[in-house]
Structure 1
Amino acid sequence: MKVALFFALIFIAAVCLGGRSAQADTGLPPLQTVQKVDLKRYLGQWYEIARYPNRFQKGCLESSAIYTLRDDGDIEVLNRCKDSGDGKQRQSKGHAWVVDSASNAKLKVSFFWPFRGDYWIIELGREYEYAVIGTPNRKYFWILSRTRTMDDTLYAAILQRAKQQGFDPALVVRQKYPPGGVLR
């Protein structure tokens, strides 16, 4: 429980401190999101393919997230990873909600009230087989997939499109999963 709480607090502090003036600090044009997200299709299991390094995921391997619909229409978030030091599972529960109902592509996420951070869906596979998440200040970036692997050509194309949005592909760290390994 202490590990989960610590993990959540670090995440929230990092996102909140990094997200203060989302566009003012970057000098970049506004971050573009996908036009429309069907949240029911978006729910379920996602595996992290790659991310920008960040403090709240330091030492996390084999990261995954499960999104489920709450009774109030918001989304429950369960993030999990394997600790690189002791191999134990770390997890953190959070709450996400839509802040742009026209597209459903801009969300806020909170793992510890009252702190919250941006979660913008900037790219989405036609069949919801992958998603690319970023923050408007370009400090946080994730590539997610419904499977633990991603085709190298697709991965390179995603990085190229992310670069056009102001993200630095050189900062992206690709996840490594054990062959045939099972994520728990």
Structure 2
Amino acid sequence: MGVSKGSVFRAIALTAVAAGVAEAVSGCAVSVPKGIEPVTGFDAERYMGTWYELARIDHRFEKGLIRTSAHYSLEEDGSVTVINRGYSEEKNAWKESEGKARFLGEPDVAALKVSFFGPFYGGYNVVSLDDDYQTAMVIGGSFDYFWLLSRSKSIPERKFRQLLRIAQNLGVDLSRVMVVEQ
């Protein structure tokens, strides 16, 4: 019994699709950007709760949103539930998304991967955190992702500028950073 051309082409196509999916998934491997050191001695329980976004590099998933915040909850299995929220003036509505974060290694190192879309993860690296867990800077899996977070909706201007200088010294392009209206 012979093999038809159609079945050969289907087999080749399916192999190509499977290879593409495998490449895409492996391409989603999360690592810490070169030159970045996540905070060590990290206390996940102290980090939990609500953080307000004071500045960010804008992306399509946050485009046009103001009054943005993130709420983190530590789960029994060590993962973190993340609820991001922001207000769209254009749509006169709140936008909310829920995700799950997991530590890349030990939980005392603030290097995590977070997913809002199934098996696809992005980096979440806390690179600066004050001793009182009141302000934090986060860089994603690359320098295209940056957030300056605070427990309060505003901080003194001097502290804000100091944190942006630290971000710049880490390699963040401040010309891409926008201040978030809270």
User: Could you tell me which of 103, 125, 130 is aligned with 2:130?
Assistant: 125
2:99 equivalent to 1:94: yes
1:65 is the counterpart of 2:70: yes
Q: Residue 153 of structure 1: SS of its match in structure 2?
A: helix
Alignment CA distance shift 1:156-1:80 (3 Å): same
Work out whether 1:49 is the aligned partner of 2:92: no
Checking the alignment, whether the CA contact within 8 Å between 1:52 and 1:140 is kept in structure 2 is yes
Give the Å deviation of 1:150: 1.3
**CA shift for structure 1 position 103:** 3.4
- Larger gyration radius, structure 1 or structure 2: 2
The Cα shift of 1:53 comes to: 1.1
Equivalences for 1:97-112 in 2 at 5 Å?
A: 97-101=102-106, 103-112=108-117
List alignment gaps of at least 5 residues for structure 2.
1-25
CA offset digits 1:112-132 (Å, max 9, x no partner)? 211100000000011000110
TM (normalized to structure 2)?
0.79
Mapped contact 1:18–1:137 kept (Cα < 8 A): no
CA distance in 2, matches of 1:46, 1:89: 17
Residue 45 of structure 2 aligns to which amino acid in structure 1?
A: K
Instruction: Indicate the SS of the match to 1:41.
Output: helix
> Within the alignment, does 1:78 sit opposite 2:83 as a pair?
yes
Mapping of 1:1-184 within 5 angstroms?
Answer: 23=33, 29-101=34-106, 103-177=108-182
The residue type equivalent to 2:171 in the other structure is G
TM-aligned CA deviation for residue 32 of structure 1 = 2.0
Larger displacement relative to structure 2 (98-107 or 166-175): 98-107
Structure 1: gaps (5+ residues): 1-15, 24-28, 178-184
Q: Distance in 2 between matches of 1:32 and 1:170?
A: 22
Distance 1:78 1:136 in 2: 19
In structure 2, distance between residues paired with 1:19 and 1:150: 35
Distance 1:111 1:131 in 2: 21
Q: How many equivalent residue pairs?
A: 157
Q: What is the TM-score when the length of structure 1 is the normalising length?
A: 0.79
